[in-house]
Amino acid sequence: MSAAGGRGARDASRLIRTANRYRVLRQVLADGPVSRPALAAATGLSRATVATVTGELHRRGLVRVAGFEDSAGGRPAALLAMDPVGGALIGVDMAETYVHAELFDLTLRVLATVRLPLAPGEDGPELVVERTAEAVSRVRERGAPPGVPVLGVGVAMPGMVDREGGVSVFAANWDWHGVPLLGLLARHIPYRLYLDNPLRATTVAELWFGAARGRRDAVVVNLGTGVGAGLALGGAVHRGASNSAGEWGHTTLVHGGRSCRCGRHGCVESYVGAPGIIRTLTEVAPGSALLRPGDQMGTIAALAAGSAAGDPVARRVLEVCADQLGAAVADLVNLLNPEVVVLSSWVAREWGAPLLEAVRGAVGRYALGRPLASAEIVLSPVEGDPVSLGAATFALEGALA
């Protein structure tokens, strides 16, 4: 107990220094060019702290003086902005059927994109690692201006990830168990590497650039083939005891209900993950023309187009799914009392506004009044691929730590 307390205290003071750097840099990213006094006002940090932090950021080449403020007498205040050529960041989204790498400048603008396909069966660690290294090398060649250093590469890998150890503990899609991924990648990639999973990548992307920015407590609901809830509590990612917090997809929505790929029954994911939604479609209208056999994304796109066009089957599926999703999101609202719930990932993006509207209605039916009143529900405002953006942000955070 004493040891845990001690760890906590040392962590706390290191974390607050890192949090100050994050806070200042997020503000420079949002408002730059911006003066130090304006940064102090916007972040609530003291001018002395802002001076210390911006000094560090300047020495590391992350931030530059981009101009001076007009002032009525006295010394004009320097305006700070991210230094676009201070470094480049690479974010990698390792998915089941492709490896997607993006190269960003320090304003997190995309400079280049490379996507290499993975054929079915191309799932051995060595092959996936080679493909990843190739994508990183090609995106680097294609996008980075000469002389600009790559500050780091963030890799988002599906499943349970031991972030400190750099190990893919378990990945259901490739049946990986305990693969020392960071070590394998380090043999091929000459940059600092950061590993985590796509759920945490999208959460970090929302914290830095999306709907969770400046919010104390936010939940990022990822709706894709799998589903999960990234938790941003107290302005930082809540990881839990073993970096596996957020497994909302495998919480129970219907005790004893549908069987789930995790081996249990009635999980949220078995209803509102893409395969669950498609199963609902086959229950509502067996043999529907909306069904694209073997094509999950195509079927969801057909459902989205259908519900927008007033197709009754698509409308009914939307209604059922939004009701289930609303009940499950209401659970997050009741339990965590967040300021904002962000719907993210490809199913949310594909279905868009009609899904948002129906989910808001359902959450209104299921959540308790007080937590409901303080919970905004929005679609992710992050443009581009939030997973590679978030992965690149791991590298930015790493450069600040």
Smallest CA-to-CA distance from 192 within 153, 136, 236, 157 is with 153
Pick out residues in 306-325 that bind its own copies (CB under 8 A).
324
Q: Are strands 236-237 and 227-233 parallel, antiparallel or unpaired?
A: antiparallel
What letter does residue 145 receive in the DSSP assignment? P
Minimum distance, C-beta of residue 64 to its own copies, in the bound complex (Å): 22
Per the structure block, which two tokens stand in for 391? 């992965």
- Of 328, 342, 355, 377, the residue at the interface with its own copies (CB under 8 A) is 328
Q: Is 9 in the site for its own copies (CB under 8 A)?
A: yes
Q: Is 107 in the site for its own copies (CB under 8 A)?
A: no
Residue among 141 and 376 whose Cβ is closer to its own copies: 376
DSSP reduced 3-state for 353? helix
- Of 154, 226, 338, 386, the residue at the interface with its own copies (CB under 8 A) is 338
Residue 121 has φ and ψ, to the nearest 5°, of 95, -20
Pick out residues in 194-213 that bind its own copies (CB under 8 A).
213
Sequence-ordered list of residues with C-beta below 8 angstroms from that of 287, at least 6 positions apart, any chain: none
Choose the binding region for its own copies from 13-21, 119-127, 139-147, 274-282 (rule: CB under 8 A).
Answer: 13-21
- Of 93, 196, 206, 247, the residue at the interface with its own copies (CB under 8 A) is 247
Minimum distance, C-beta of residue 157 to its own copies, in the bound complex (Å): 14
- Of 116, 262, 285, 308, the residue at the interface with its own copies (CB under 8 A) is 262
**Cβ-contact 258, 276 below 8 angstroms:** yes
Minimum distance, C-beta of residue 245 to its own copies, in the bound complex (Å): 4
Smallest CA-to-CA distance from 329 within 360, 288, 298, 295 is with 360
Sequence-ordered list of residues with C-beta below 8 angstroms from that of 374, at least 6 positions apart, any chain: 337, 338, 339
Per the structure block, which two tokens stand in for 289? 């023309």
Choose the binding region for its own copies from 128-136, 145-153, 256-264, 350-358 (rule: CB under 8 A).
Answer: 256-264
- Of 254, 308, 356, 379, the residue at the interface with its own copies (CB under 8 A) is 254
- Of 156, 221, 229, 278, the residue at the interface with its own copies (CB under 8 A) is 229
Q: Is 146 in the site for its own copies (CB under 8 A)?
A: no
Residue 181 has φ and ψ, to the nearest 5°, of -65, -40
Q: Is 18 in the site for its own copies (CB under 8 A)?
A: no
Minimum distance, C-beta of residue 107 to its own copies, in the bound complex (Å): 18
- Of 25, 29, 45, 81, the residue at the interface with its own copies (CB under 8 A) is 45
Residue 34 has φ and ψ, to the nearest 5°, of -145, 145
Minimum distance, C-beta of residue 231 to its own copies, in the bound complex (Å): 8
Pick out residues in 66-95 that bind its own copies (CB under 8 A).
none
Choose the binding region for its own copies from 38-46, 62-70, 285-293, 356-364 (rule: CB under 8 A).
Answer: 38-46
HEC-encoded secondary structure of 316-385:
HHHHHHHHHHHHHHHHHHHHHCCCEEEEECHHHHHHHHHHHHHHHHHHHHHCCHHHHHCCEEEECCCCCC
Residue among 263 and 293 whose Cβ is closer to its own copies: 263
Minimum distance, C-beta of residue 247 to its own copies, in the bound complex (Å): 4
Q: Is 44 in the site for its own copies (CB under 8 A)?
A: yes
Distance CA 181, CA 129 (A): 8
**Cis preceding-peptide flag for 145 (omega within 30 of 0):** no
Smallest CA-to-CA distance from 174 within 220, 131, 238, 230 is with 131
Per the structure block, which two tokens stand in for 369? 């009044």
Distance CA 148, CA 284 (A): 55
Distance CA 319, CA 202 (A): 26
Which residue has 């104390």 as its token pair? 216
Minimum distance, C-beta of residue 340 to its own copies, in the bound complex (Å): 9
Pick out residues in 111-140 that bind its own copies (CB under 8 A).
none
Minimum distance, C-beta of residue 180 to its own copies, in the bound complex (Å): 16
**Cβ-contact 371, 135 below 8 angstroms:** no
- Of 17, 33, 41, 51, the residue at the interface with its own copies (CB under 8 A) is 41
Choose the binding region for its own copies from 8-16, 123-131, 185-193, 288-296 (rule: CB under 8 A).
Answer: 8-16
**Total residues binding its own copies (CB under 8 A):** 78
Minimum distance, C-beta of residue 210 to its own copies, in the bound complex (Å): 11
Pick out residues in 171-190 that bind its own copies (CB under 8 A).
none
Count the Cβ atoms, other than its own, within 10 Å of residue 362.
21
